[in-house]
Structure 1
């Protein structure tokens, strides 16, 4: 595959395959039923999605499936893609010019917060850093109805993340690394919230004004930290775990 695509597309394939492996490493995968995608540069509006029948730990740069805006594979492939993944990801990729990567998970902690009436609470620094950049979308059933795309996009607006109520979490980024780190923060915040609430009702809320301050700090520094520091380190970890993802 490397010889058949541009250097830019291959670099994106390697990053996205690394993200799949890291999701599996963190235990965030849901068998084969969630999805991470990345836009392919060019006017054709193509994007990369996981082969539906592969575990995340098996995904490689070459096995990622390039699809068009109708969900049809671009070029021959032995793999199929997830219809729900196409619905959610195509909606955001087509509507947001900055949505070069979109990642969606069904972790137990993410689903638990998605089922909570108040969503993500400002209980931890991690939650406060990302909470103001989160949107919410009401559950409409398994996302196979293309009509839902308009409502997804409207609810997301210009936010960098979303809680899909009764469903899971989602992040949007200008590249794969930025998107992954946003998703990490969202998932970490969800996990901490469930742990805190399960420990009893004596929860310590932050002093007045600090949640807003942390939100400003997150908006200013999260993307820079992701691109310059965290993602390069995470890719090195992916190579240490199994360099086969980059084939």
Structure 2
């Protein structure tokens, strides 16, 4: 009743799929290490390069139970496409992820969290403010989506796509935060910046003191700089190998 099914897919999937599984499992473990997980809820999804298939966490597993092999392979409609899979997925969570993967085929990863800080800032009428350097990265590419209840309505998918546009940072009002990235590492680094920005904003606001706001002209000029610092080989992928090593030290079994 309480034991997880044991699966091992390393020798039965392509090299590209296995690498994606290992990196996605590491990302789930990083959320645990940063305190961004939420029992069995929220998701990180990743497209297997060269395919239209996605990997998603099995419904009912905590993030520190996720391994490369127990991630579930699905198509864009949410159908499980791997043989003899002993797991299911959460249809509510997949509604959001399927919409964003459909809208942004060039992005590999969509990362969604419900942390206190991101939900709090997403619930403020003023949203994220230009109060810190971390907020600069998000404000250079930020969109919002109104709360519509539990994400089980397919009709919401088009509104999610429309609201996202070209943004890499997405605040779901009263709900949480999403980041997208061309790699899993990029999506993680984007969420790191967004979470830090929300944490710092709430700490500044808690002082009750007037705060310095960064001028909009500076915010407007940040995007090109952010792309250099936090994307590709000079950004997310530069930090990502260190994050992978950190996960391996803490969770030696994540890549099984």
TM-score by length of 1: 0.95
Higher alpha-carbon deviation: 15-24 or 218-227: 218-227
Higher alpha-carbon deviation: 227-236 or 57-66: 227-236
Relative distance call for 1:219 and 1:226 in structure 2 (3 A) is: closer
Counterpart of 2:249 in structure 1 is: 240
Q: Kindly state the Cα deviation for residue 214 of structure 1 after the two structures are TM-superposed.
A: 3.4
- 2:239 is aligned, of 216, 230, 239, to 230
> What are the within-5 Å matches in structure 2 for residues 77-226 of structure 1?
77-207=85-215, 209-224=217-232, 225-226=234-235
Relative distance call for 1:157 and 1:10 in structure 2 (3 A) is: same
Give unpaired runs (5+ residues) of structure 2. 1-8
Give unpaired runs (5+ residues) of structure 1. none
- C-alpha distance after superposition, 1:158-214 (max 9, x if no partner): 111100111100011111111111111111111111111111132122356333333
Q: Kindly state the Cα deviation for residue 132 of structure 1 after the two structures are TM-superposed.
A: 1.9
Matches of 1:118 and 1:4 in 2, distance apart?
Answer: 49
- 2:71 is aligned, of 64, 74, 85, to 64
Residue 37 of structure 1 contacts residue 103 of structure 1 at CA under 8 Å; is this kept in 2? Answer: yes
Matches of 2:180 and 2:85 in 1, distance apart?
Answer: 27
Which has a greater percent of helix? Answer: 1
Q: Kindly state the Cα deviation for residue 129 of structure 1 after the two structures are TM-superposed.
A: 2.0
Counterpart of 2:59 in structure 1 is: 52
SS at the partner of 1:246? Answer: coil
Q: Kindly state the Cα deviation for residue 85 of structure 1 after the two structures are TM-superposed.
A: 1.6
Relative distance call for 1:112 and 1:42 in structure 2 (3 A) is: same
SS at the partner of 1:145? Answer: coil
Matches of 1:202 and 1:147 in 2, distance apart?
Answer: 42
Q: Kindly state the Cα deviation for residue 70 of structure 1 after the two structures are TM-superposed.
A: 1.9
Aligned residues: 246
Residue 125 of structure 1 contacts residue 214 of structure 1 at CA under 8 Å; is this kept in 2? Answer: no
Higher alpha-carbon deviation: 197-206 or 230-239: 197-206
